[in-house]
Amino acid sequence: MILRRLSEFDLHGRRVILRCDLNVPIKDGAITDDGRIRASLPTLRLLLEQGAAVVILAHLGRPKGERKPELSLEPVGKRLSELIGREVKFAPNARECESAAKALQGGEILLIENIRFEAAETSKESTERGDLAEVLARYGDFYVGDGFGAVHRKHASVFELAEKLPHAAGLLVEEEVRVLQTLLESPSRPFAVVLGGAKVSDKIAVIRNLVERVDLLVIGGGMVFTFLAAQGLSVGKSLLEVDQMETVKEVLNRARERGVRVLLPTDILVATEFKDLPAKRTLATEIGADEMGLDIGPDSAEYYAAALRECKTVFWNGPMGVFEFSNYQGGTRAVAKALTEIDGLTVVGGGDSAAAIRALGFADEQFGYISTGGGASLEYLEGKELPGLVALR
């Protein structure tokens, strides 16, 4: 996919609408991980250096068209101001800030309140989305799409708005696409994909696509138990998607046909409740009827790590266990550490994986690339056309 690049345009003196992904976790009014804000800085700095006035559009959470104070972007604006080293003005209503936008001078920034407070942003009706895009288009004369975490959504500020103004991809989107294209088209081998998280159904499309391209497929997280059950094992009270078992069998058969090595855990950390209780280790073949698996076991973590260290390209999306529980972080920690030791390209696929490595004390610089888009990354690797990228071609 060939995107229009910022380097093709002189934006001095222009008012630029910049769509960012500032969807950061906030607890008790405090940002707990500002990774996505930091990822937006290179494009913002470039625009400011060129003398552009910048109007930022972004979302936070899923307010579903309601104004929810806990999902306001105001604390995000304050953090952005600290990181960029200049004032970030704030507009509390997306439909009523035309005068504020047009009053901006070169080098000034205006952050508009959570665009998803507007029901038309996420509406399935194109006429409603188009109406909002018409309003937003009056705030600038150029559009830059840099919110990679939202490019898989056909939303007003992501798709329709880009069609109404001259536009280009931001530096972040450009780099995300470059890295993901490398994974699909020219990975150094051996090439491994590590997939975790809760449900097979969330990942099955990307598994189907990548099993045709990888050398090693490593499975962790809650989705492990559907794989184990598909092989006839009892998984107790563990998360299980019975309707996905036949699909999993098909994937495993295809992997065997292609000579793709698939790693599943041989031991599991279990508990009798979904709580941060002291972990009990059991073999994957011996999970009790009253037990639920919450992490891969230490033996599995060790051989997962050993296999990954032999690879030249690794894409990882989804933790190996319930990493939010201190007793069930071992598998995720082992995979993260292995990725820091690989002599090659390592890509952490956004979402919970990025949150996990930071929560476990790893620095972003220890990995080759950390994607900002969990769902967007997966859909790209599925081979889907993403609306927000189509609009920037």
pLDDT digits (tens, 9 = 90+) for 242-292: 999 999 999 999 999 999 999 999 999 999 999 999 999 999 999 999 999
Q: What is the mean pLDDT of residues 83-98?
A: 96
What's the pLDDT tens digit per position in 347-371? 998 777 888 898 899 998 999 999 9
Sorted by sequence, the CB contacts under 8 Å of residue 7 that are 6+ apart come out as none
pLDDT for position 102: 96
Please give the order of strands across the beta sheet that includes 142-145: 88-91, 109-112, 53-57, 15-19, 142-145, 167-169
CA distance 374 to 351: 5
Sorted by sequence, the CB contacts under 8 Å of residue 53 that are 6+ apart come out as 14, 15, 16, 104, 105, 106, 107, 108, 109, 110
- Number of Cβ within 10 Å of residue 309's Cβ equals 14
* Helix 330-340 / helix 298-309 crossing angle, nearest 10 deg: 20
How sure is the predictor about 212, in pLDDT bands with cuts at 50, 70 and 90? very high
What's the pLDDT tens digit per position in 94-132? 999 999 999 999 999 999 999 999 999 999 998 999 999
- Cβ atoms of residues 58 and 23 within 8 Å: yes
**Average pLDDT along the chain:** 95
pLDDT for position 29: 86
pLDDT for position 349: 87
CA distance 1 to 54: 26
> Mean pLDDT lowest for which of 177-181, 327-331, 348-352, 360-364?
348-352
Q: What is the mean pLDDT of residues 4-30?
A: 93
Which residue numbers are catalytic? Answer: 36, 199, 351, 375
Tell me which of 228 and 27 has the higher pLDDT: 228
pLDDT for position 353: 85
3-state secondary structure of 26: strand
E-strand ranges in the chain read 15-19, 26-27, 30-31, 53-57, 88-91, 109-112, 142-145, 167-169, 191-195, 216-219, 261-263, 267-271, 280-283, 292-296, 313-317, 345-348, 369-370
- Cβ atoms of residues 92 and 111 within 8 Å: no
CA distance 45 to 39: 11
Q: Residue 104 CA to chain centroid, in angstroms? A: 32
The model carries a pTM of 0.91
pLDDT above 90 for 2: no
Q: What is the mean pLDDT of residues 12-32?
A: 94
| Domains of the chain from N-terminus onward | 6-173 (3.40.50.1260), 187-382 (3.40.50.1260)
What's the pLDDT tens digit per position in 370-387? 999 888 999 999 989 999
